Structures are given as C-alpha cells and as structure tokens.
C-alpha cells in the first residue's frame, strides 16, 4: 500500500471530441496539501472529477488513497469533496443534513458535527439555502470531517470568498493537516491562497501538466526577466514564456537553467507564484517565443 | 516558543525559523529538554507550508540544536553538544572576519582592533554585573 | 439497511421539506372526488403518486443532488433502484390511505364499493402507476427533470388515453384482461429500470 494520497499517471480524458486532459501525471504524498493551479478551462475540474471517479478516463491510471480508480464505492467514506456550489437540498436545516447523510457513513461522529458547526458559527436550525458561500463551504467541511475523511478535495473553494473567509479556510486546512494521515487537494486560480501554505504544487495549462513538485522546487525552476521594450529578441536556446511587451518594458518567464543565456542587460529575479501562474497561463498567442 | 516571521525580510522563511529558534536556544530562552511544537503544529500556527517547517527542523537537528522523534515532535538538545559548539565557533570566526574586513577598509591596525575588543568585553562585563 | 433502502430514505428526506405542498395536493384530490369514491384511488395514483414519485428528481435538479449522490458512498445502481423504490413506496402509501378513505366515503354515502369493484379499481391504479413510472423515470435519468417534466407527464397520459380509446374501456368489458395488468405492469417497471441503467451510463455528466 503506497503512502500516496493520490496519483494520476498518464491520464487522458476527452470531452466531446477534444482532449480535456493530455498525459496528465501528478501525485501527492500523504500528509500534505497540493495546490492545483491553472486558468479557467485549463482542466482542473476535469482532473478532479477523474480523480474522484466521477468521470471515466480514456487512458492512463489513477490511484486514490491506495486504491485504483474506479474503486470500491466504500472509498468515498474517506473523501470529502468541497465544490464551488452546495449540493444539498436548500430547504434542509443543518440538523436535517446530518439525518440525511448519516446513514451512509460507517463512522459518523454526531458530536463532532455539532461541535464543528458551533465552532464555525453555524446554527443547526439554519437552512442550507440561507448560508453564505463561506458558510456553505464550512458546512461541507464539517460534513467531511464528521465522517472522518482522510482526503479533502477542494475545487475552487475561494472564488467568491472575502479575505477573512479565505483566511479561515487556510486555518481549517492547517488544523486538518495536523494529522499526518490527512491530505488536501486544492484547486484554484488564486495563487495567494497557496503562496505560504502550499506544500506541493501542480501547474496545469491547456489540459497538460506544465510542472509539478514541491512549492520550493517550482519557485526555483523559473525566473522572471524584465528588459527594455526592444530587448529579448533573437534569443537562441531560451524559451520565453508568456511574453508581455509594452512600450516601456518586456517581461517574460524563463526556466532557471536557461536564464544564464540571457545576457547582461536584463533584470532576472525569482518569481512569485502569481507571476508563474500568469505567464504560464497566458493565452496561446502570447505564450511562447523561441528561436 | 516565539517565532515571528517577516514577509519582507530577504531571508527565506525556513531560514528565519532556524535563526530564531537557534537564537532562542543559544540564549537559553528555550531550555535544554523543552519540547518544541511538531512541524505540523508549527506550520499551522505560522500559516506556512509543512515542508518549510520540516526543513527548518531538519537543519536545526543537523546542526545539533534539536533532536526530532518521529511521530512525537522535537526537543531541545543540551547546548554543550559538540555540534553546537562548532556552530558557535564558526559564528565567532565569521563575526571576526567581518570585523576584519571592515577594519581593513577603515584602515585600522591590529592594536586598534584589540583595543576595541577589550573595550567591548569590559562593557559587556559591566552589563552583566548590573543585571 | 440495504443501500437501496438508504436511498429511499434519502428521497424521503429530500421531499420532507415540501410535505405540506404534497399533502395539499392529496387533500385537493380527495375533496374533488368526495362524491365519487370509486374513482378516488386511481385519480390519486395518477395525480398525487406521480407527483410524489417525481419529486426527488425535481428537487434534485435544482439542488444538484446528482453531485451529492456521486460523493456519497452509494453505488449508481442503488441510486437508480432507490428512485424506483421510492416510487413504489409512494404508490403503496397512496393506495392504502386512498382505499381506506374511499371505503369510508363510500359507506358514508351508501355507495356500493364491493370487492370486485375495489379489485378492478386497484388494478387500474397499478396500471396507471406502472405506465407513469416506466415512461418517466428513464427520461428523468437521461435528461434530468427540468428538461422533460412536461413531456414526461404528457406521454403517459397520452399512452393511457390511447389505450382507453383503442379498447373502448368500460369496467365490465375490461374484466377479462384486467388481471394481466399486474404482471405486465411489473414487467414494464423492471424493463424501465434496465433501460434507465443503460441510459444512465451514457448520460451527459452532471455539472459537478
């Protein structure tokens, strides 16, 4: 039994004729949080659906908590899924949510559920449809923690959340990871969520994995370069990622090992995660210039 | 245990943790044998990545400041362990080298330097006596 | 509890917040047919049971419960069979309550409601129910409630109307083949479940 929270290996997935995922491979050792970063439409949600067995794949293999996917339905006992929408009956009160879901879980801790709702400031008598987005996400987390999920999967949880709610979410994840047997997958296009707390990162663009590894490895793998408006032309052997030219400056991302070939007149410095995401996610026309 | 991280400071986060915990141990604020928060608890408190805190602890352990017990956490090692002494000696040497470089730039001679050193030692001694 | 039973309970809880509206429908039908107890049960099955059975699909569409089913430790097969199980449970409850009410009303109004009439009425109800569910549920599964709700209500009614016209139904003449309604109806439901399972595999995936 591996100690990976999950692994995707060479996964291909087609959506209505075109490939949404191409040779996607990334994995997360148990006990850490991985950020899946990419622009809208890059394939994050498709990757998550495939990982959770919610859609079939057309090639490759997937492993989830040590089991191949598609796996036994019982695997879902250990997974909590938080999406950008609630998937509960709006007119249920939070107490009814427990009554509805409890029969399906072997290890449901009712005291924990009520305790968490209390901690999150959620009223048992409140209706699901009256919850704000941040509260709805906390509810889903409370449900997941109450059935002792080992893996939390978040798909764009912070879009639409104010900074306070986002900060609370980071705290909740930190508490969840106190147990080395717990892991988190967090897909987002907001890089500041993962700037500090991300352990592993996977960058995805156009259905392909651009890079995956520890956050430090990824930050180390690139450099941001800035030069004059007419510079950074006719470069041999250097791939400029996401070049942006204005009348005053040219900016691009390069791989660290190619940065040495750039010459003296450019400013080279370590990028922020935001800059990496922006340049890698740049639309096709601007994406790369190589010679 | 007090660790206060700065976003703006040039030093990477793991380095800041290392420096602050190391300094606390050296100054005695963290007594020998006292337990440190686990890497996960520290990461949770500081809101940073677990890999960062793990690295900081690993380097502190490699330098002899702490010992980590898998699954339990870490605790402070006695200060007079050989590795720590070696660390301190290296610090003294680095400090002296820095002073020497500056002295050369300022055009000071050996005697001036020794005078300054004696003065600093005397001042430190006075401070100790007073407190 | 088996997974299918759990799904039936989940459907019950899905519909529970709307029990007042549902009971109102029941009450209206009863009031409308207070003077015609013989026709009460079939009408209840046609109007009330059909609504109740489809309710989880209705609520599910709006609340995106397909995602919930996909995250719960619940096999797809159990979800589908649970929908059918819920429909059957609705039918049984309607028939029990409806028959009791019909008998009571018949006695109060001194309307004859003997064993043979009752049997025929119950058989008709079963036939109505079977046609309804057999037609609607695969459509709901494949296309979701919202997209086909009108069509799926009209189709069974059209089918039944066609049957009536075709066979010039009156209770007397129907008595010969009426008993066949039971096995045929059951077979329709089983076939419908199989079709639903097949369609489900090719379903346009829910917007997760």
Cβ-Cβ contacts under 8 Å, B56 against chain A: none
Q: What is the pLDDT of residue A111?
A: 95
Give the predicted TM-score (pTM) of the model.
0.86
* Cis amide bond preceding A70, omega within 30: yes
Q: Give the residue numbers spanning the domain of C184.
A: 3-201
Mean pLDDT score across all residues of chain B? 87
Please report whether residue C60 resides in a domain. yes
Using pLDDT thresholds of 50, 70 and 90, give the confidence band for residue C167: low
List chain A residues with CB under 8 Å of C70. 52, 54
Average pLDDT over every residue of B54-59:
94
Cα separation, B35 vs B12, in Å, equals: 24
Residue A55 touches partner C, C-beta closer than 8 Å: yes
pLDDT digits (tens, 9 = 90+) for A97-144: 999 999 999 999 999 999 999 999 999 999 999 999 889 999 999 999
Using an 8 Å Cβ cutoff, are C80 and C196 in contact?
Answer: yes
192-251 in chain A: CB under 8 A from chain C: none
Q: Mean pLDDT throughout B17-34?
A: 87
User: How far C82 CA lies from chain A's nearest CA (Å)?
Assistant: 14
Q: Do chains A and C touch (3 or more CB pairs under 8 A)?
A: yes
Look at residue A291 and tell me whether its pLDDT is greater than 50.
no
Q: How far does the CA of residue A235 sit from the closest CA of chain C (Å)?
A: 44
* pLDDT above 70 for B32: yes
Within 8 A of C74 by CB-CB distance, chain A residues are 73, 76, 104
Find, in chain A, the residue whose alpha carbon is nearest to that of C15.
A89
Contact exists between A and B (3 or more beta carbon pairs < 8 Å): yes
* pLDDT for the residue numbered A162: 84
If interface means Cβ-Cβ distance under 8 Å, which residues of chain C face chain A? 1, 6, 9-10, 13-14, 16-18, 59, 62-68, 70-75, 205, 208
Interface A-B: count of C-beta contacts within 8 A: 40
Q: Choose the closest CB to C10 out of A49, A77, A100.
A: A100
Confidence bin at C28 (pLDDT 50/70/90): very high
Q: Which residues of A touch B40 (CB under 8 A)?
A: 177-180
Give pLDDT, residue A284: 65
3-class SS of residue C180: helix
Q: Which A residues 71-110 touch C at CB under 8 Å?
A: 73-77, 79, 81, 83, 85-92, 96, 99-101, 103-105
Whole-angstrom distance, CA of residue B40 vs CA of residue A174: 8
Q: Answer whether residue C197 is part of any domain.
A: yes
Lowest-pLDDT range, A37-46, A258-267, C48-57, C192-201? A258-267
CA C183 – CA C174 distance, rounded (Å): 16
* pLDDT surpassing 60 at residue B81: yes
Report chain A residues whose CB lies below 8 A from the CB of B45.
174
Quote the DSSP letter at residue A265: T
Give chain B's contact residues with A (Cβ, < 8 Å). 13, 38, 40-41, 43-45, 47-52
Give the DSSP per-residue string, A65-88: TTEEES--GGGGGGEEEE-SS--S
Q: How far is A104 from chain C (nearest CA, A)?
A: 6
Confidence at residue A182, expressed as pLDDT on a 0 to 100 scale: 96
Strand-by-strand arrangement of the B66-69 sheet: B35-36, B73-76, B66-69
pLDDT at site B16: 92
So what CATH class is B13-76? Answer: mainly alpha
**Average pLDDT of span B11-37:** 88
Chain A residues with CB-CB distance to B44 below 8 A:
171, 174-175, 177-178
Residue C188 lies in a domain: yes
Q: Is residue C99 part of a domain?
A: yes
pLDDT above 70 covers a percentage of chain A that reads: 97
Cα of A175 vs its chain's centroid, Å: 18
pLDDT surpasses 80 at A68: yes
State chain C's mean pLDDT as an integer.
86
pLDDT at C169: 57
Alpha helices (H) along B1-131:
13-27, 39-46, 50-62, 82-106, 110-130
* Residues counted in chain B: 131
Average pLDDT over residues B5-33: 86
Q: Which of A:101-160 have CB within 8 Å of C?
A: 101, 103-105, 155
Best to test chain C binding among A73, A89, A92, A136 (most C CBs inside 10 Å): A89
A32 touches chain C (CB under 8 A): no
Task: Tell me whether residues A178 and B40 touch, CB distance under 8 A.
Answer: yes
Chain B residues with CB-CB distance to A180 below 8 A: 40
* Residue among A180, A191, A193, A195 with most chain B CBs within 10 A, to mutate: A180
When divided into structural domains, chain C yields a total of: 1
More confident residue, B64 or C159: B64
CATH 1.10.8.60 given to domain A4-206: no
Kindly state whether residue C21 falls inside one of the protein's structural domains. yes
Q: DSSP letter for C203, please.
A: P
User: Are A100 and C14 an interchain contact pair (Cβ–Cβ within 8 Å)?
Assistant: yes
Is the dihedral angle over the CA atoms A165, A170, A173, A178 positive or is it negative? negative
Q: Is A130 on the interface with B (CB under 8 A)?
A: no
Strands across the sheet with A240-245, in order? A267-269, A222-227, A250-255, A240-245, A288-289
pLDDT digits (tens, 9 = 90+) for A169-221: 899 999 999 999 999 999 988 888 888 889 999 999 999 999 999 999 999 99
**Going by beta carbons, is chain C in contact with chain B, meaning 3 or more pairs sit under 8 Å apart?**
no
Closest CA to B2 of B23, B14, B39, B11: B23
ipTM associated with this complex = 0.88
pLDDT of C94 above 60: yes
Distance CA A61, CA A193 (A): 29
Q: What is the pLDDT confidence band of residue B52, given thresholds at 50, 70 and 90?
A: very high
* Residue C206 belongs to some domain of the structure: no
At residue C208 the predicted structure's pLDDT band, cuts being 50, 70 and 90, is: very low
Q: Using an 8 Å Cβ cutoff, are C64 and A136 in contact?
A: no
């Amino acid at each position: 039994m591996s100690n990976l929270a999950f692994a995707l290996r060479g996964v291909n997935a087609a959506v209505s004729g075109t490939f949404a995922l191409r040779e996607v491979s990334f994995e997360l050792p148990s006990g850490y949080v991985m950020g899946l970063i990419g622009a809208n439409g890059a394939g994050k949600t498709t990757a998550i659906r495939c990982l959770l067995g919610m859609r079939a794949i057309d090639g490759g293999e997937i492993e989830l908590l040590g089991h191949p996917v598609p796996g036994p339905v019982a695997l879902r006992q250990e997974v909590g899924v938080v999406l950008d929408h609630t998937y509960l009956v709006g007119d249920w009160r939070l107490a009814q949510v427990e009554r509805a879901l409890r029969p399906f879980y072997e290890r449901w801790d009712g005291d924990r559920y009520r305790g968490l709702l209390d901690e999150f400031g959620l009223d048992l008598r409140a209706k699901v449809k009256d919850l704000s987005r941040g509260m709805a996400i906390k509810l889903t987390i409370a449900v997941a923690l109450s059935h002792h999920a080992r893996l939390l999967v978040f798909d764009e949880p912070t879009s639409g959340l104010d900074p306070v709610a986002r900060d609370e979410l980071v705290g909740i994840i930190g508490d969840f990871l106190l147990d080395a047997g717990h892991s988190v997958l967090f897909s987002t296009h907001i890089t500041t969520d993962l700037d500090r707390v991300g352990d592993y990162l996977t960058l995805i663009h156009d259905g392909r994995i651009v890079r995956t590894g520890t956050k430090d490895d990824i930050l180390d793998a690139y450099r941001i370069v800035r030069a004059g408006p007419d510079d950074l032309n006719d470069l041999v052997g250097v791939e400029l990622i996401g070049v942006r030219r204005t009348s005053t400056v040219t900016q691009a991302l390069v791989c660290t090992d190619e940065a040495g070939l750039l010459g003296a007149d450019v400013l080279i410095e370590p990028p922020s995660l935001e800059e990496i995401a922006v340049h890698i996610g740049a639309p096709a026309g601007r994406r790369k210039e190589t010679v | 245990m007090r660790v206060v991280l700065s976003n703006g400071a040039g030093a990477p986060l793991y380095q800041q943790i290392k420096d602050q915990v190391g300094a606390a141990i050296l100054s005695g604020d963290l007594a020998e044998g006292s337990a440190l928060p686990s890497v996960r608890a520290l990461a949770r408190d500081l809101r940073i990545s677990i890999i960062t805190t793990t690295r900081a602890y690993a380097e502190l352990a490699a330098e002899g400041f702490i010992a980590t017990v898998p699954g339990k956490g870490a605790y402070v090692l006695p200060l007079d362990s050989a590795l720590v002494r070696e660390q301190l000696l290296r610090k003294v040497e680095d400090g002296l080298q820095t002073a020497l470089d500056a002295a050369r730039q300022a055009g000071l001679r050996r005697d001036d330097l020794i005078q300054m050193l004696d003065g600093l030692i005397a001042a430190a001694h006075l401070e100790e006596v007073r407190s | 509890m088996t997974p299918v039973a759990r799904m039936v309970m989940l459907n019950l809880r899905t519909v529970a917040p709307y029990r007042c509206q549902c009971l109102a429908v029941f009450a209206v039908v009863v009031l409308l047919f207070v003077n015609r107890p013989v026709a009460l049960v079939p009408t209840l099955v046609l109007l009330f049971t059909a609504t109740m059975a489809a309710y989880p699909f209705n609520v599910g569409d709006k609340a995106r419960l397909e995602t919930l089913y996909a995250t719960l430790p619940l096999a797809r097969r159990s979800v589908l069979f649970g929908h059918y199980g819920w429909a059957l449970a609705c039918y049984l409850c309607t028939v029990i309550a409806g028959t009791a009410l019909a008998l009571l009303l018949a006695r109060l109004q001194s309307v004859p409601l003997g064993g043979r009439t009752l049997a025929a009425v119950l058989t008709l109800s079963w036939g109505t129910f079977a046609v309804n569910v057999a037609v609607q549920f695969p459509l709901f599964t494949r296309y979701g409630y919202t997209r086909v709700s009108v069509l799926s209500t009209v189709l069974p009614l059209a089918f039944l109307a066609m049957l009536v016209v075709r066979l010039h139904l009156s209770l007397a003449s129907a008595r010969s083949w009426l008993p066949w309604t039971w096995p045929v109806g059951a077979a329709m439901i089983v076939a419908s479940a199989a079709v639903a399972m097949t369609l489900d595999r090719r379903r346009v995936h829910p917007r997760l």
